[in-house]
Amino acid sequence: MRHRKAGLKLNRTPSHRNAMFRNMVTSLLKHERIRTTGAKAKEIRRWADHMITLAKRGDLHARRQALAIVREKEVVHKLFEQADERFGAVSGGYTRVIKLGRRPGDAAPMSLVELIALQATKKKKTKKKKTKTEGKQKKKAVDKKAPAVAEGVKKDEKEKTPVTPKVKATDTKEVAEVEAKKASVKEASVKTKDEPLKVKTESAKVKAKSAVGETKEDTPAKKTKSAPEKQAATAVKKDPPDTTTKKDAVKKPVKDEE
């Protein structure tokens, strides 16, 4: 029995076999795909997966172990840089084998081995089977949402168009309070409008009073005559003085009496 004897011999010596697989792993990691026979393709998968697990570990010891197998240092450094980003989400299954058919000549089965690009892979979500009750509940929810959506559209249209607020007469107290608030708001607005007019009228009155006071000071006050004084003046005007007596007195010489 072949217990604890993994791997294929492939009719080769251990040194030849190890050298061959080291070369194949190096070329696979460098070019990301190779074409070989089916038996060698199945065996090379073991070697490639081991190298990628070492690269994911990423420490110095793992790097030295990989350098002991892979023949090119640049390939090892490139693998260690890209391992976490490319294969970090998956543990195992880093390679793919595609059968190509038989080789002409000896009719050996040929296969293509390539690395899987796992950069944009995500875990698949398992879908639960829908039951009859869940389907009915979803339909009811959709039916309930439809009028709500229509109401929302109507509300948006109302908000766009300016509408005067209306008060519903549900409670008399609320209506009275609303009317009182409106009246107080109107009175306040009227007061605010009348205040500048009052200030203007008061200022005009003050200016007029000041102008009248100045004119009174400039012009002397006229004396008003009483009723008897007016009558005496008219009487004096009616009776003019006798001018003839005065003239005669002047003309006639005074005779001396003997």
Q: What is the pLDDT of residue 51?
A: 96
Return d(Cα 204, Cα 210) in angstroms, integer: 10
CB of 109 closer than 8 Å to CB of 38: yes
Model confidence, pTM: 0.47
Using the structure block, give the residue that is written with the tokens 């696979």. 28
Mean pLDDT of the chain: 76
Phi, then psi, of 34 in degrees rounded to 5: -140, 160
38 exposed, middle or buried (CB, 10 Å; 0-12, 13-18, 19+)? Answer: middle
* Total count of residues recorded for the chain: 258
Q: How confident is the model at residue 167 (pLDDT cuts 50, 70, 90)?
A: very low
Sign of CA dihedral 79, 81, 83, 86: negative
Return d(Cα 54, Cα 83) in angstroms, integer: 9
Amino acid at 163: V
15 exposed, middle or buried (CB, 10 Å; 0-12, 13-18, 19+)? Answer: exposed
- 43-57, 102-116, 142-156, 225-239: the lowest-pLDDT one: 225-239
Residue 151 or 194, more confident:
151
Question: Packing angle between helix 73-87 and helix 60-69, nearest 10 degrees?
Answer: 120
Q: How confident is the model at residue 177 (pLDDT cuts 50, 70, 90)?
A: confident
Return d(Cα 112, Cα 196) in angstroms, integer: 96
Longest dimension (CA), the chain: 217
Phi, then psi, of 77 in degrees rounded to 5: -65, -40
pLDDT digits (tens, 9 = 90+) for 4-43: 988 899 999 999 999 999 999 999 999 999 999 999 999 9
- Distances, alpha carbon 71 to alpha carbons 65, 84, 123, in Å: 12, 22, 35
For residues 97-109, average pLDDT: 96
pLDDT digits (tens, 9 = 90+) for 51-96: 999 999 999 999 999 999 999 999 999 999 999 999 988 989 999 9
Percent pLDDT > 70 in the chain is: 53
What's the count of helices (H) and strands (E) in the chain, helices before strands? 8, 3
Percent pLDDT > 90 in the chain is: 41
Return d(Cα 34, Cα 45) in angstroms, integer: 12
Q: What is the pLDDT of residue 176?
A: 79
Question: Packing angle between helix 14-31 and helix 38-57, nearest 10 degrees?
Answer: 70
Q: What is the pLDDT of residue 141?
A: 73
69 exposed, middle or buried (CB, 10 Å; 0-12, 13-18, 19+)? Answer: middle
pLDDT digits (tens, 9 = 90+) for 190-223: 666 555 565 566 667 666 766 656 555 555 545 5
Q: How confident is the model at residue 242 (pLDDT cuts 50, 70, 90)?
A: low
